[in-house]
Structure 1
Amino acid sequence: MSKAQTVRPASTLFLGVDAGNSKTAALVSTASGEVVGAGRSGCGDIYGAPTPEEAVAEVLAAVRTALAQAGADIGDIAGAAFRLAGVDWAEDRDYWDEALTRHCPGALSARTILNDGYAAIRCGDPSGVGISVTGGTAAAIAARGPGGELWDMGWWSQHAMGAVGLANEAFRAVFLAELGLGPQTALTEALLTHYGKPTVAALNHWLTRRHDHATGQERNSCARVVTAVAAAGDPVAADIVRAQGARFARYAGVAARRTGLAQADRPVSVVLSGSVLTAQGSPVAEALLAELPAHVPGAVLRRGSLPPVAGALLDALGEAGVPLHEPEAAHAVLESVTGSMPPQEFLAT
C-alpha cells in the first residue's frame, strides 16, 4: 500500500513547518519519527511576501501537500511546530494564531509558533537546548537555554547578513572603487560577468532604476560570487567575508548571554544552517568559527545532516512528549527521521 493510501487512526501524526523567504517546507511524521509526507511552497514570511495573506497561503499549501502525501487530514495532526520567518514580535505570532484558527477551524490546537531561527536547534541537540545560526537569504539566530529561556535576533540585528549582506557589501565596494573612494577589487569584473552588464554604471542603473530593476532574488544571487572571489584571495572580498563571519559570531554571543548558555557549565551546541554557512568550504563559516569561541564559551559546532524543517518536526514531537532529552529515545527518533527524509533536491534552493 502506498503512503497516499495508508489509513491511520486520527491524531497520530505530527507536523513541522519551516518557512523562509526562498521557500516553505513542511514534514508530517508518525510518533516514531518516520516521515510520511512532505510539502514545499514559496515565501512564508509575512514581512517578505507581497501580502501577509499570501505568506499564509504558501504555508498552508506546503502543509496540504505534505498531508496529501501522507494520506492524512489536518485533523490527524496531534502536534505541530510552525517555525516561521517574520515571527519577530508578539503581534506577528498573534497574526499567525488567528490565521491558522481561521483557515483550520477545529484543528492544529496543539501548536507552537516561533521564529524560523529556532527550527534547526534540535538538529544539533535533540533536547532542544543550544543556538541556531542560519545564513541563507538573510540571517536568523535563535537560542533555547537550559531553563527553557528563548531569544531570537529578529529585528535586533543592525547588520545585513546572509546573501543579502554579502551582496550589499559587494555592491558598495564596487561602486566606491568606481568613484575612486575605495580600493580596486576583483569583485568589479566578477559582478559584471555574473550579471552580464558592460559597465559599473549599467549595473548600478539596473539595480536602482524605477522600472524593470533587479529583483531581490537577482540582487542576492551574487553571494556565491562574493565568497568565490574572497577564496581566490581578493582582499576586499576577503574583508567582506571576515566581517560577515564575525557578525554572526557576535550575535550568537548575544543569544548565549540572553538564554543562560554563556554561563552554563556544559558544552553549547551551535548549529549552522543556510546555504551561505553550509556550502562546502564556506569562507563565511570559517570566519564565524574563528571568532565564535570568544563569544560563546564551550561552543560545539554541529554540522548535522538534517535540514531545519526536520528540526521543526523534532520540536513538534518533543513538545508532544516524545522524550528527546533521553539519549536512547532521541537516537531512535533521529534515525527514523533521517532514514525517511525526502530526497535532497526537495530542499534545494
Structure 2
Amino acid sequence: MTHQATATALYLGVDAGNSKTAALVSTASGEVVGAGRSGCGDIYGAPTPEAAVDAVMSAVGTALGRAGADPSALAGAAFRLAGVDWPEDAAYWDDALARRQPSLVRRTILNDGYAAIRCGEPSGIGVAIAAGTAAAIAARGPSGELWDMGWWGQHAMGAIGLANDALKAVFLAELDLAPPTALTQALLTHYSRSTAEELNHWLTAREGGAGPRDRTSCARVVTAVAKDGDPVATDIVRAQGQHLATYAGVAARRTGLATAGAPVSVVLSGSVLMAEGSPVAAALLEELPAHLPHAQPHRGALPPVAGALLDALGENGITVTDGVTARVAGSMPAKDFLAT
C-alpha cells in the first residue's frame, strides 16, 4: 500500500501494545492510504521508555511513507497507547511527540483501551472491553468523561489470567491440594512435557526456561478444555467473564453511562473474546446485566488501530458515519498486517 503525496489533509491513528504497534493514515473520507507496524510501544513493557517511542515513531514513519506524506500533512492524530495509565505517562508521551514530531500539534494521547470503542460504536460513547494477551477496559461518557482500568485492575485477565489460573490449578492438583483436572494432560501435551514437575521446572527455570509468551500460549487450550466440560477449566473461564463484567460496570459508573437511563454500547474485542465460540465471551455476556443493566453488547467489527483512526477523525471535526467506517474497513491492509 503506497500512495503518492497529496495536499489533502490526512489523519493518523496509532494503537500500541506489547505484542505490536500499528499505525494507519487516512483521508478525511476514511480511505486508508498508509499503514505501518513495529514492536512493543508500551513504556512499561519495552526495554526502555525511549524504545517504546522508537517503536511508535517507526510505525508512524512507515505509515506516512506509504501514504507519500510527511507529518505536516496530518490534520489530527489519535495515539492509543498501552501504558498510558497515569498523568505522568501521558506527559511523557506528549513531550516525546513534541520532540520527535513537532509539527504534529493536533493530537490526543490516551490508553489503548479507548481504541476499541469506535470499533463498534461510531459515536465513541460507550464501554470497550478488550481481552487479548491482557485486558483493557475503558469508557467514554455522554459528557466526555473518561475512565480506564489501567492499574486499577486487581485480577489477571485475558490470556495471562487464563494461563496463570490454569497452571495454578494443574500444580495444586499435582500436590493434592486441588481437584484433578483435564487441564493437566491438555497442558502437558500443549507444552510437550511429560510431567507436571517437568512443566513447572521449564516455566520457572533460571536458565533455558520458557519465555513470557510461552506461558500465555496455552490460553486457547484452557478455553477448549472448558468447552469440553471440565469443571476446573469451566470455573476459570466463568471467573474471567465475571471479572471483565465487574470492571465494565465500574467504567460505566465512573463515566455517567450507568445513570444516563439509556442503552449503553459495550464493545468486545481482543483475541480471547473474538475467538469463535469463545466461552469467556459467553461468561461475560451472562454476567454483564448484573453490573450494567442497560448494556447493549456487540463485538467490534474493526481492529483497535482502526478505532484509533476513527478517533482521530471524530476528534477533528469529521462525523464518523457508517460510510466513513465502511471506507476504513474496506481499505484496511491485508489481515497478516495485524497478525501476532
State how far apart, in whole Å, the 2-side matches of 1:40 and 1:7 are.
Answer: 20
Aligned counterpart, 2:72:
75
Any idea what the Cα deviations from partners look like across 1:250-302, whole Å, max 9, x if unmatched? 00000000001111121111111110010000000000000001111211112
Alignment: residue pair count: 340
How far the C-alpha of 1:5 sits from its partner, in A, is 4.6
1:6-155 paired onto structure 2 within 5 Å: 6-9=4-7, 12-104=9-101, 106-155=102-151
Does 2:333 correspond to 1:345?
Answer: no
In structure 2, distance between residues paired with 1:331 and 1:305: 12
Opposite residue 193 of structure 1, the aligned amino acid is T
Matches within 5 A, 1:211-222: 211-222=207-218
Gaps of 5+ in 2: none
Give the root-mean-square deviation of aligned CA atoms: 1.0
Aligned to 2:292: 296
**In structure 2, what is the equivalent of residue 173 of structure 1?**
169
Match of 1:4 among 2, 5, 18: 2
Higher mean C-alpha deviation, range 50-59 or range 244-253: 50-59
TM alignment of 1:265-284, pairs within 5 A? 265-284=261-280
1:177-225 Cα offsets, whole Å, 9 max, x none, are: 0000000011111111111111111111111121122111111000001
Structure 1 CA distance, aligned partners of 2:232 and 2:194? Answer: 21
TM-score, scaled relative to structure 2: 0.98
Q: Which amino acid aligns with 2:143?
A: G
What is the CA deviation profile of residues 17-54 of structure 1, one whole-angstrom value per residue up to 9, with x for unaligned ones?
Answer: 01111111110000111000111111111111111111
* TM-score, reference length from structure 1: 0.95
In the TM superposition, structure 1's runs of 4+ consecutive aligned residues that sit over 4 Å from their partners are none
Q: Is the 8 A contact 2:5 2:67 kept in 1?
A: no
- Contact 2:118–2:310 under 8 Å retained in 1: yes
Residue 317 of structure 2 corresponds to 321
Where 1:266 maps in the other structure, the secondary structure is coil
Helix, strand or coil at the partner of 1:4: coil
Deviations 1:65-107 (A, max 9, x none): 1111111112211100000000000010011111111112x32
